[in-house]
Structure 1
Amino acid sequence: MSAETIKIELNSDEALILFELLSRYSDTDELAIEDQAEQRVMWNLCCDLEKLLIEPFSNNYREMVVDARSRIRDSKE
């Protein structure tokens, strides 16, 4: 199955906040919200994805998630 391209737009403030959250996670391996703005960006991102994706409404959604994870996950070389 080929992955379809989906585009999500962020304004510069959202991008900066998301970058900070993801960079902190990358550095600490701990995903923690430090400011409500981070929570807001995550909520907004989830809302944007809900508008774009049809998979969450499929009967086999969980299986689709498992399959997508296996395609995205780093290989065990």
Structure 2
Amino acid sequence: MENKSINLEVTNDEALVLFEMLSRFSNTDVLSIEHQAEQRALWNLTCIFEKVVSEAFDGEYEKSLSAARERLKDED
């Protein structure tokens, strides 16, 4: 399967809030929501993904997800 690129468009506010949240996770290995804006930004991002990730709505979702995870993970 070809690993195509997908372009996502978020606002600067969403990008800033998500950057902070992901940076915090990267530094602590704890994924948590510390401000309601982080939850809103994640909800907004999910809506964006729903528009561009066609696999989410086909009958092979679990198979596609499993294959994507295998391709994306670090090598053992």
Give TM-score, length-normalised by structure 1.
0.94
Q: CA deviation at 1:39?
A: 0.4
Structure 1 residue runs of 4 or more that deviate by more than 3 Å after TM superposition: none
Sequence identity (%): 49
Aligned length: 76
Report the counterpart of residue 71 of structure 1 in structure 2.
Answer: 71
Unpaired runs of 5+ residues, structure 2, are: none
* Counterparts of 1:52 and 1:60, CA distance in 2: 16
CA offsets 1:18-48 (integer angstroms, 9 cap, x no match): 0000000001101000000000000000000
Q: Cα RMSD over matched residues?
A: 0.7
Unaligned runs of at least 5 residues, structure 1 = none
Give, in whole Å, the separation in 2 of the partners of 1:59 and 1:67: 14
Is 1:57 the equivalent of 2:57?
Answer: yes
User: CA offsets per residue over residues 42-75 of structure 1, 9 Å max, x none?
Assistant: 0000000101121011111001100000000011
Normalised by the size of structure 2, how large is the TM-score? 0.95
1:30 aligns with 30
Instruction: Indicate the SS of the match to 2:33.
Output: coil
Name the counterpart of 2:4. Answer: 4
Measure, in 2, the Cα distance between the counterparts of 1:50 and 1:16: 21
